[in-house]
Amino acid sequence: MGYYPLYLLAQCAFAPVFVFADVTYNGPIATAWHGLLTTTLSQAWFPAHAELWNAPTWFLSALTFATVCLPFALPAIASWRKKGLKRAMWILTAVSVLAKVAYSYDTNGWFFMEGTMSPKSHPSWLFWNSIRFSPFAALVEILIGCVAARLVMVKECKAEDDPDGVGASDAAKLVLGGSNGLAAQSPAIPALGMAIVIVARAFGWLTLNDALTRGLIFIPLFTAFVMRVHRQTVYADLPNANRPGYNSFSKALGAKWLTYLGAISFPIYILHGPIGQIFYKRVVAQKLWGKVFTADPWFFPVYLAIVLVAAALTHELFMKNKDVQGWFQAKGRELAAAF
pLDDT at 167: 43
Residues 6+ apart with CB under 8 A from 268: 307, 308, 311
Under 8 Å between Cβ of 62 and 143: no
How many other β-carbons are positioned within 10 Å of the β-carbon of residue 29? 9
Chain-wide mean pLDDT for the chain? 84
pLDDT at 182: 54
Compute the distance between CA of residue 167 and CA of residue 121 in angstroms, rounded to an integer. Answer: 50
Nearest to 52 by CA among 79, 76, 26, 84: 26
How many other β-carbons are positioned within 10 Å of the β-carbon of residue 85? 25
Q: Which helix or strand (DSSP H or E) is residue 22 part of?
A: helix 15-26
pLDDT at 157: 54
pLDDT at 336: 67
Q: Which of 2-16, 131-145, 165-179 has the lowest mean pLDDT?
A: 165-179
Half-sphere exposure of 194 (CA within 13 A, CB side): 16
pLDDT tens by residue, 112-134: 888 788 878 888 888 889 999 99
pLDDT at 268: 94
* Helical residues (DSSP H) of 235-321, grouped into ranges: 249-252, 256-280, 282-289, 299-314
Q: Which helix or strand (DSSP H or E) is residue 334 part of?
A: helix 322-338
Compute the distance between CA of residue 281 and CA of residue 292 in angstroms, rounded to an integer. Answer: 7
Residue 62: Cβ-neighbour burial (10 angstroms; 0-12, 13-18, 19+): buried
pLDDT at 168: 40
Is 184 a residue whose pLDDT tops 70?
no
pTM for the whole structure: 0.80
Give the confidence band of 23 by pLDDT, cuts at 50, 70, 90. very high
CA dihedral over 43, 267, 4, 135, signed as positive or negative:
positive
pLDDT tens by residue, 61-73: 999 999 888 989 9
Higher pLDDT, 166 or 26: 26
Compute the distance between CA of residue 127 and CA of residue 131 in angstroms, rounded to an integer. Answer: 6
Give the confidence band of 156 by pLDDT, cuts at 50, 70, 90. low
Mean per-residue pLDDT for 8-35? Answer: 92
